[in-house]
Amino acid sequence: MPETLSGITVLGLGLVLGLKHALDADHLVAVSTFLGQRHTFLSSLLVGSFWGIGHSVSLLAVGFLVVLFDVSLPERVAGFLEFSVALMLIVLGLNAFKHVIRGGRIHTHWHAHGDRIHSHPHLHPVADSDMPQSHHGLRPGWKPIAVGMVHGLAGSAALMLIVVSTIESRAVALGYITIFGIGSIGGMAMMSSIVGLPLRLTIRRFAKAHLVIQALAGFLSVSFGLFLAYEVGLDWTR
């Protein structure tokens, strides 16, 4: 019974830490750069979920190597992964700026689903405003998945793998990784819905405010990326 309780405690800890992991600043900053082009609650929810799926896939892959084959992550590799996150944040921020600079046309697009008719607001770049395929709000989420996979190999996720290496039972360790991943998916899905709320509200009535918030998300992403790159660079020179 004590061993069972201990295993349940570890798994519960994994869920809590997974939820908390979604609150890391670099995660929220990265996801916020995607939310400017997602104008419904469902699409914002999907962005966070896709990020969490990508994060969990890479984390599970490395975690299985750590648990089953006692593979350790060299410090130099961990530093390289952190630097990759920094570069990725800079690129995401610049991409957000690109959407703001190109401007766009906001309009309401009506959808019919059987007898039910409803509308979604859209902001399209001028060059794409007349393209039919630009009218569909739910698009494949491979970019958030890719960003999540990079995050899954760096930062506090590496600390999670250290915790896993101290768990004696392999079954419990693998369960911990899985629960941690589920917590990350749920946490980021919830947070992306909350973070995306100002963007969903402003696009309906305040187009300029919407673009300002997008620009702010881009600025935060570039700034955080530069700061993280600076910190990693300092570690390399020590």
The predicted structure's pLDDT at residue 204: 61
In this predicted model, what pLDDT tens digit does every residue of 181-200 receive, in sequence order?
888 899 998 888 888 777 77
| Mean predicted confidence (pLDDT) in 2-31 | 75
Which of 158 and 17 is assigned the larger pLDDT?
Answer: 17
Q: 96-106: string of b/e by CB count within 10 Å (b at 16+)? A: bbebbeeebeb
Spatial separation of the C-alpha atoms in residues 127 and 85, rounded to whole Å: 31
Which of 165 and 111 is assigned the larger pLDDT?
Answer: 165
**N residues, the chain:** 238
In this predicted model, what pLDDT tens digit does every residue of 204-216 receive, in sequence order?
666 677 778 888 8
Domains of the chain by residue range: 2-237
